[in-house]
Every structure is written in C-alpha cells, then in structure tokens.
Structure 1
Amino acid sequence: MIFKEYKIPSSNNDYIVSVYFIECNTSMEDKFYVPDGNLELMLVNEPVSILSGENKILTNEKHIFWGQKRFTGTIEANNHFKVFGIKFQPWLFAFIKEQKNIDLVDSVLPLNEIMSKPLIKKINQFFKHWNFSDPRLVSIDNLSFALKKEFNSCIVIKPRFKNIITELRNKKGICSIADLQYMYMQSERTLEYDFKKYIGITAKEYQNIVRFRKSCMNLKTTKTIIHTALDYGYYDQAHFTNYFTKYCQRSPSKFLNQGNLLLSTV
C-alpha cells in the first residue's frame, strides 16, 4: 500500500487539515478505516462499498463524504484502487448542517449529497494538478475559497473554540475537559454548547476520538499494548481494550494483525 499525506500549515487551514493519497495494490480485502474526529471526502478511481460492522452503508460509490463519525468503517473493493482525499476541520460540520440540514454524525454519504457538481469538479481539478513533492499553498487557498463560497454562511467559528480543538490535538486527547474550561475561561455549559453546535458531538466524545486515534498510531509503531495504554492515559490494558473495542470493533491485538489499515498521520 502507498500512502502520502500533506498537512496544511496552520495559517492556511481554516477549512482543510490535510490532503492525502492512497493506493491499494490488493483486491478483495477489507480496507479498515479509523475515525479521527475530522470530516473528509474521498475520490476513488474504482467503485467501493463502505460498511460499519455488518451494516453496508454505501454500495459502489466513487465520491464519498465521511461525516463526523464515532465508529470505524470498512472499505471493500473488487479491484486495486486509488484514493485522493481531503480531511476538513471538524467545524465544517456547522456550515453543512446549516445549509443542507443533514445529520452528519455517524454518517457516510455520497459526496453529491453534500457538495455541488461545480465544487466536485474543482476538487477533481485540484487533485489533477496537485503534487505532493511540490505542494502549492495557493492551490489550497483557492480550494478553501471555493468551499467558503459553497457553504456561504453567517456562522462564525469562535477563535477560542478553534484553539481548544488545536489544544486537544496537540495534547493527543490526553487532557481533562475541566482543564480546557479553565485554560480558555469557558463554562461547562458554553463549551458543550459550542461542541454540539460546531462539530455535532460532545467535548468528551471528541476528546476520546482524538486520544483513540493517536493511540492507534502509537500502537502501530510500538507494537506494545500495555505501554500504549499507559502512555495515553488509560488506567490499564483492560481499560484500553474496552475503549479500543468500542471504537474499533476489534481488540488491540487483532488491530495489530490488520496489515492493510488506512491510517493517516493527522
């Protein structure tokens, strides 16, 4: 499997966190996907199907939008396939929710239910000219402008809320919500209201997703379950396994044996 990702510098990422490319050179094999708290889209060159557990959510789609999800997804394909993807800031949820009135929590949808044909065409053109070895930020800026135009909204995301999201990511989800409230002078009620309004889930749920995702990355690198559990603030290996099974639908040991995991660095 080939994987490439370019993280957008913070000064240019009001809407977009990263762009990535995946090439799977095996067919008829489950491609496992883990949530990270971001919304994202995938442009696939071959039709794929998406499952959550035993439930098939999408069948034979090439343009896919992942909503704010608290579950892992499985990607099935009959042929080798390539993916271009964009990870969005989680607060894009608020703009889409306002304009489309679609519940994006725990949803995976055809991209054309979220974005117009002209915007999808621009995204295709963006990837046609994108070069991971020579990234042009002006291309990112142009795409961000197109997104802003598409989801024209009077919603303004509070700078303080953006800082809270950044803090949660930087600390890998290993921080208390009470500490965040104190650090950013937010009441519990205001913080919870902002999370539900801007990204559709509670602060604790988002924190757990970020911590889980980061622990997945660490586990893949170290191959050590107990050290990962303790490093990421879980009480013990059993506590980590319970959380892991909840989000991943499989144990940490089975996860380590999953050789075709699609896992970005975000």
Structure 2
Amino acid sequence: MSGFYKEAAADDRYKKYVQKFWILDNSHNSLTKPAGYALPNGCCTIVFVTGNGVLLNLAGKPVELPAGVYLSGQITKRTSISVKPFSKAIMAQVKPWLPPVISNISMDELVDNIVSLDTFNPFFNQRLTDLNLADDRSVIQAVYKILDTCLHVDADTHFIQWAYKKLSASASPASIADIASASGYSQRRVEQKFKMLIGLTAKEIQSILQLRKLIDDLSNPVYNGHLGALALQHGYYDQSHFIRSYQRIIKESPSQFNANEYLLPFSGHFDFLQL
C-alpha cells in the first residue's frame, strides 16, 4: 500500500490545530481501490476529493463523495474507505477543537456524518475555488493560509484541549467527575460542552482514546502478549470489559484484528495532545 497511502506531517506552527495530512492516491488506476478501515481517534477530517470520488461506509451508512471538499466530524465506528478509479483523496486530520472555531455548525450534527465545505465554512470554499485539489503541496499550503486568517482561540478551545489531555492520560486518566471538579463546571455542564463543541460526550471520547491507544499495541508486529494483560494495561477493568468496548466500535472480535486491513499511522499511535 506504500504507493497508494502517504502521510505528511503538519508544520510545527500549525500542529496545535492540524495533526497530519494523509493521502489516498488512486489517480493512475482504472479500478476501484479498497483502502481499508479508518478508526475513530478523537479527531475530525477535512477531505479533498478529486476524480470520480470516494466511497465510505460510515457507521453502517453507504456514503459517496464526488469531487469536492468535505468535513467529517467525530466517527464512532470503524469506517471503510474505497477510492474510485482515477481518483484521489487528501485528508487534513484536524484536532477536535478546530471545527468549532472555524464554523458555527453544531458538532453533534456531524457525529458519524460528513458535510460539504460550503455548508460549514463558505469562506473556506471561496478561498479554494481555483486550487488544484489533486496537488498535495497546494492543498496543504492552502489549509495553512486559511488558518492564518480565521483562527480565534477562546475559553472553550482551551477547555477542550485541557480536558482531552486529562481524559487520555496514560497513567491515570481523569474521570468525568475529576474534570468537573478541576474545571469548576458541573458534570452536566461538562457533558453539555462536549456535546456542543465535539459532538460526543466526554465519556465517549475517553472510550475512543482508550481503545485507539490499545490498537497501537495490538497492531505492533512484535506484540505477542495476552489480550487480558493488554486490556488491564490500558485501563480496562477486565478482558470482558475490553471486548465489549472493542466490539462496539469495531464490530468484530479482537482475535480477528488484522493490522493490514486498517489505515494506521506509520509511526504508531499519535499523541495529538502535544501542543
């Protein structure tokens, strides 16, 4: 898959808002290319599609994306991706606090959903009118230029950044009660903010981050440990707790996991909370 799947790191200046860029290039192939599965990871994605388009299965819903630019919100289930003949998709994987500061769209409407660029930010759409959406470098530089002109950071942005870091702590992840106590908000208010700004509850985000970290170890070629031990290492109460969480998102048994079927980062699980 090396010639088909590529990654590009975000420039240091923009790492607070952009995790990375990843590219699925089927532009020279006359056949549809099944890319594999993407996993929930706590991020959102801006998708640039050229050619005949991309096919998704998003939380059980078939979705066809013709050429254009889109925003995908939080996904809660593994998502299959196929790229049509003579087509290409460039994805800007953006951090979860970016969409609320560049759009007024309600993020809970974007859970397991994808909308056109013009829907969530007409300004973006206008700036990209004459851009070659098939050129990696042009797309990446255009994203940076747009961010330079429209970003504003407020208290909600800082709260989400801080809360994500607490929820994903490796040694002792914070509970929702801990987040509420430290922030001065009630637990109800914490959940309201997450639903409004992220689309999912804090607990749902924590479950996604927990599983996503475990998948990094499970996909390591040298891993040959016991699933129960791995589950305990990543904060699950026991193996059955882990299996239930895994099946809710991936819809199969952990014993069936095959890393080759997934679009996983080259460098392993990314720490997108490094700011």
Q: TM class, shorter-chain normalised?
A: 0.7 to 0.9
Task: Give the aligned partner of residue 243 of structure 1.
Answer: 245
Give yes or no for contact 1:173–1:211 (8 Å, CA) kept in 2: no
Q: When the two structures are superposed, what TM-score results if normalisation uses the length of structure 1?
A: 0.76
**Within 5 Å, which residues of 2 pair with 1:40-119?**
40-46=45-51, 47-52=53-58, 54-60=60-66, 63-79=69-85, 82-95=88-101, 98-99=104-105, 103-116=109-122, 117-119=125-127
1:257 aligns with 2:258: yes
How far residue 115 of structure 1 moved from its aligned partner, in angstroms, is 4.0
Task: State the distance in 2 between where 1:91 and 1:196 align.
Answer: 12
Distance 1:243 1:177, change over 3 A: same
SS in 2 for 1:29: strand
Task: Give the aligned partner of residue 161 of structure 1.
Answer: 160
Give yes or no for contact 1:71–1:247 (8 Å, CA) kept in 2: yes
- Amino acid corresponding to residue 261 of structure 1 in structure 2: Y
Task: State the distance in 2 between where 1:28 and 1:242 align.
Answer: 31
**Structure 2 unaligned blocks of 5 or more:** 271-275
Task: State the distance in 2 between where 1:123 and 1:187 align.
Answer: 47
Task: State the distance in 1 between where 2:135 and 2:163 align.
Answer: 30
Give yes or no for contact 2:54–2:81 (8 Å, CA) kept in 1: yes
Deviates more, 1:218-227 or 1:24-33: 24-33
User: In angstroms, what is the RMSD of aligned CA positions?
Assistant: 3.6
Give yes or no for contact 2:14–2:144 (8 Å, CA) kept in 1: yes
Task: Give the aligned partner of residue 128 of structure 1.
Answer: 137
Deviates more, 1:21-30 or 1:85-94: 21-30
Distance 1:141 1:54, change over 3 A: closer
Task: State the distance in 1 between where 2:105 and 2:71 align.
Answer: 16
- Amino acid corresponding to residue 245 of structure 1 in structure 2: Q
Task: State the distance in 2 between where 1:125 and 1:57 align.
Answer: 21
Task: State the distance in 2 between where 1:101 and 1:181 align.
Answer: 21
How far residue 147 of structure 1 moved from its aligned partner, in angstroms, is 4.7
Distance 1:82 1:97, change over 3 A: closer
Task: Give the aligned partner of residue 199 of structure 2.
Answer: 200
Deviates more, 1:120-129 or 1:187-196: 120-129
Question: What CA deviation, in whole Å up to 9, does each residue of 1:99-125 have, x standing for no partner?
Answer: 589821221234444344324456949
How far residue 252 of structure 1 moved from its aligned partner, in angstroms, is 1.4
Task: State the distance in 2 between where 1:101 and 1:230 align.
Answer: 32
Task: State the distance in 1 between where 2:117 and 2:92 align.
Answer: 12
**Number of residue pairs the alignment of both structures matches:** 254
Give yes or no for contact 2:104–2:120 (8 Å, CA) kept in 1: no
Distance 1:252 1:109, change over 3 A: farther
Give yes or no for contact 2:49–2:65 (8 Å, CA) kept in 1: no
SS in 2 for 1:71: coil
Distance 1:177 1:228, change over 3 A: same
SS in 2 for 1:98: coil
Task: Give the aligned partner of residue 4 of structure 1.
Answer: 7
- Amino acid corresponding to residue 260 of structure 2 in structure 1: G
**Structure 1 unaligned blocks of 5 or more:** none
Give yes or no for contact 2:90–2:136 (8 Å, CA) kept in 1: yes
Q: How many percent of aligned residue pairs carry the same amino acid?
A: 22
How far residue 49 of structure 1 moved from its aligned partner, in angstroms, is 0.6
Give yes or no for contact 1:45–1:81 (8 Å, CA) kept in 2: yes
**Within 5 Å, which residues of 2 pair with 1:171-210?**
171=170, 174-210=173-209
Q: When the two structures are superposed, what TM-score results if normalisation uses the length of structure 2?
A: 0.74
